[in-house]
């Protein structure tokens, strides 16, 4: 890791520390990430201003002066704003840039309402920014009991970020933002699952799903339960450099706060607004997307586990579920999420979804759905992951790889449940573990106690039960017991015990005996006879 990225990460983390004592991570992440994003928008605008008018960019303070002069220039001011609006879909009043706010903070005349107005202006500038900062409640008493205290709190957050130019470090800022999301997730406990998939799991899923499509121009990626968008954005990381800027991202998220994080995350990673189509909605309600494209090269999902859903009979006519003639149970929506994602997969695409192990063996309607998918050859690979990989649950999970265009109905099983490194209270997949899983997945050959390619007939014999231990035997024979050696060890132990007892009794004999202790000492000797 470079010193530059460490510096950015530290500054971002310091800004979060200001709020840590005032609220829990699931709340203060919205303030920290919102203010970071506003500074990014501001810095980007100032640097672009210098570029548009042909001035060399020196620093943000110099760029602020240039922006103010040009903004109020009757001849060129409107042209500049039009160009900025065309490029970024927003503008910021010169009095509301982050740099101007810092100037006011240093002069002790910054007012929190001005930052709130800056947020509102951004939200009104374009539909993509609508309600973006609604979870950054600058009037909340959690920030302080009085307006002055609240002002001081937010000012302290802003000061931690002031020394960085987020536009200049845009490539690194996206990674630093991901780092911060991971830190928040580790502190948020069960609520972390709403917005974050640990990077090692995300990497493993993406590397599998994108195989063979790394160089595809205009690659499409879809995550129907996208959280903060981190899993979806990994597609860019593992695509070839010459096509990464042509990827189009599609995602849906039911939680409005998390949906806003995803929009910020996309922009911080340099994804143009016309290359992302994100929706704040419920994947288990009406279908989306319904406008072209509706099928995607890569589908990645880490949905809420065993969540309840309506299972309304009307879904039997929904094209996502109609082909199966049965719906997942009300008490567990795991298969509902899976079928939704699979419906939106291109014929030549790959889908990876992480779910609890129950989907592999539960019966009733889930058993029928699993059988139908196996009969059609849709389930390509099942990968068992270690327990305690996720911040919101300690249960072991499984990655299911699905494809539509397979010519075989076999299923490849990998038991990677022991492939982890323990870091504090969390288990993690290291790069070595990920590489081993990927290599095994690609070779698709049996590995003793680790991987097995099961024929369709073998799966039939197991009544379409995909429980991994049925196919990958990880039982280790205990080492044979050497009776002769055990006997010798026991003799040595007995000899040592006799010697120790004798030495102890000698020490007891040396004790001074009184009327009060005589009975006790005799009792001790009787025990060791």
CB-based contact 61:99 (threshold 8 Å)? yes
Tokens of residue 436, six digits: 């081993």
pLDDT at 187: 78
* Kind plus residue range of the DSSP H or E element containing 345: strand 345-356
What's the gap between Cα 190 and its chain centre?
A: 13
Contact 203, 217 (CB under 8 A): no
C-alpha closest to that of 44 among 272, 233, 229:
272
CA quadruple 516, 522, 528, 529: dihedral, nearest 10 = 180
pLDDT, residue 137, reads 94
pLDDT at residue number 381:
98
Residue 378 burial by Cβ neighbours in a 10 Å radius (0-12, 13-18, 19+): buried
**Comparing C-alpha atoms, which of 302, 286, 296 is closest to residue 344?**
296
Q: What is the pLDDT of residues 361-406, one digit of tens each?
A: 999 999 999 999 999 999 999 999 999 998 777 899 999 999 999 9
**Residue 506: what pLDDT?**
74
Answer whether 262's CB lies under 8 Å from 240's CB. no
Q: Per residue in 471-483, is it b (16+ CB within 10 Å) or e — as a string?
A: bbeeeeeeeeeee
Q: Give me the pLDDT at residue 474, please.
A: 61
> Helix 256-268 and helix 230-238: axis angle, to 10°?
20
Give the pLDDT of residue 6.
86
Q: Nearest 5 degrees, angle CA 333-CA 335-CA 341? A: 105
Q: Tell me, what's the pLDDT at 190?
A: 59
Quote the tokens at residue 419.
Answer: 């492939």
3-state secondary structure of 414: strand
Condensed to tens digits (0 to 9), the pLDDT of residues 143-173 reads: 999 999 999 999 999 999 999 999 887 768 8
DSSP label at residue 1: -
- Ranges of residues in the chain whose predicted pLDDT is under 70: 1, 171, 188-195, 474-480, 508, 510-513, 515-517, 525, 527-529
- The predicted pLDDT at position 493 comes to 82
CA–CA–CA angle 411, 329, 334 (5° rounding): 50
Buried b (16+ CB within 10 A) or exposed e, 38-72: bbbbbbbbbbbbbeebeeebeebeebbebbeebbe
What pLDDT was estimated at residue 485?
75
What pLDDT does residue 394 have? 84
397, 354 Cβ separation under 8 angstroms:
yes
The radius of gyration of the chain's CA atoms, rounded to the nearest angstrom, is 31
Q: What gap in Å lies between CA 27 and CA 30, rounded to an integer? A: 6
Q: CA end-to-end span of the chain, whole Å?
A: 67
Nearest to residue 413, comparing CAs of 374, 452, 369, 460?
A: 452
């Amino acid at each position: 890791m470079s010193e530059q990225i460490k510096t950015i990460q530290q500054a971002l983390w310091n800004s979060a520390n200001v709020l840590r004592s005032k609220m829990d991570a699931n709340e203060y992440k919205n303030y920290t990430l919102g203010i970071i994003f506003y500074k990014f928008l501001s810095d980007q605008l100032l640097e672009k201003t210098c570029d548009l008018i042909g001035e060399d960019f020196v620093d943000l303070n110099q760029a602020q002066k240039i922006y103010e002069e040009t903004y109020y220039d009757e001849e060129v001011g409107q042209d500049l704003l039009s160009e900025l609006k065309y490029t970024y879909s927003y503008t910021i009043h010169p009095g509301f840039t982050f740099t101007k706010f810092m100037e006011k903070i240093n002069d002790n005349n910054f007012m929190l309402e001005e930052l709130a107005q800056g947020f509102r202006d951004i939200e009104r500038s374009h539909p993509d920014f609508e309600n973006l900062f609604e979870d950054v409640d600058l009037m909340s008493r959690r920030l302080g009991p009085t307006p002055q205290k609240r002002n001081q709190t937010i000012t302290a957050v802003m000061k931690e970020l002031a020394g960085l130019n987020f536009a200049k470090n845009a490539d690194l800022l996206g990674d630093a933002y991901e780092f911060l999301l991971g830190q928040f997730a580790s502190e948020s406990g069960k609520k972390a699952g709403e917005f974050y998939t640990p990077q090692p799991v995300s990497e493993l899923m993406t590397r599998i799903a994108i195989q063979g499509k790394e160089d595809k121009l205009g690659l499409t990626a879809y995550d129907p339960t996208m959280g903060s968008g981190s899993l979806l954005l990994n597609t860019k990381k593992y695509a070839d450099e010459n096509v990464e800027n042509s990827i189009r991202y599609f995602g849906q998220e039911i939680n409005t706060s998390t949906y806003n994080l995803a929009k910020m995350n996309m922009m911080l990673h340099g994804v143009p607004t016309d290359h992302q189509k994100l929706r704040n909605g419920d994947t288990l309600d009406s279908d989306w997307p319904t406008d072209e494209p509706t099928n995607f090269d890569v589908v990645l999902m880490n949905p809420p586990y065993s969540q309840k859903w309506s299972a309304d009979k009307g879904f039997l006519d929904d094209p996502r579920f109609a082909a199966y003639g049965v719906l997942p149970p009300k008490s567990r929506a795991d298969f509902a999420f899976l079928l939704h994602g699979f419906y939106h997969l291109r014929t030549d695409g790959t889908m990876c979804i992480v779910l609890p192990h129950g989907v592999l063996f539960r019966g009733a309607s889930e058993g029928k759905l699993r059988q139908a998918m196996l009969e059609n050859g849709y389930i390509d690979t099942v990968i068992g992951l270690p327990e305690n990989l996720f911040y919101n649950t300690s249960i072991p999970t499984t990655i299911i790889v699905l494809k539509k265009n397979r010519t075989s109905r076999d299923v490849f099983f990998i038991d990677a449940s022991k492939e982890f490194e323990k870091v504090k209270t969390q288990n993690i997949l290291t790069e070595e573990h990920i590489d081993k899983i990927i290599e095994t997945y690609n070779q698709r050959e049996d590995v003793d106690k680790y991987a097995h390619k099961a024929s369709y007939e073998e799966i039939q014999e197991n009544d379409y039960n995909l429980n991994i231990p049925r196919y990958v035997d990880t039982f280790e024979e205990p080492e044979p017991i050497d009776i002769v050696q055990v006997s010798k060890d026991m003799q040595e132990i007995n000899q040592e015990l006799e010697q120790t007892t004798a030495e102890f009794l000698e020490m007891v004999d040396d004790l001074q005996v009184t009327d009060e202790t005589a009975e006790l000492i005799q009792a001790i000797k009787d025990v060791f006879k």
